[in-house]
Amino acid sequence: QELLAPPLVVYGCDYNHAKSGNLRRGHAFGYALCTWHHRRHPLGGNSFATMRETYGPSLMDGSRTFHEAYGTDDELIAQQTFVNEQRQAA
């Protein structure tokens, strides 16, 4: 996998704690999301429709919709771990 080019990386992300049932799995089980994907907060003055069309669904659109688009919590944690390891090696 290739990493995003630095200008495309969003900084200042929220941390989403993964859950099992309706309980947090612990702080080590989570991943970063931009404010759109975590809290459905539009970026750059865009409308909700433009954000959804351009960037896909937010977690606030429902966890099933979000996970169908981006993968399970465990898959997202694994992707983030991979990216962190690649950035540390660079």
Q: Would you list the DSSP string of 39-79?
A: H---STT--HHHHHHHH---GGG-HHHHHHHH--HHHHHHH
Please report the pLDDT score of residue 28 as a whole number: 85
Please report the pLDDT score of residue 27 as a whole number: 85
Does a structural domain hold residue 90? yes
For 70-79, what is the mean pLDDT?
A: 95
Please report the pLDDT score of residue 22 as a whole number: 87
Domain count, the chain: 1
3-state secondary structure of 90: coil
**Would the pLDDT of 2 be above 70?**
no
Does a structural domain hold residue 49? yes
The whole domain housing 43 covers 36-90
pTM: 0.79
For 47-59, what is the mean pLDDT?
A: 95
Does a structural domain hold residue 26? no
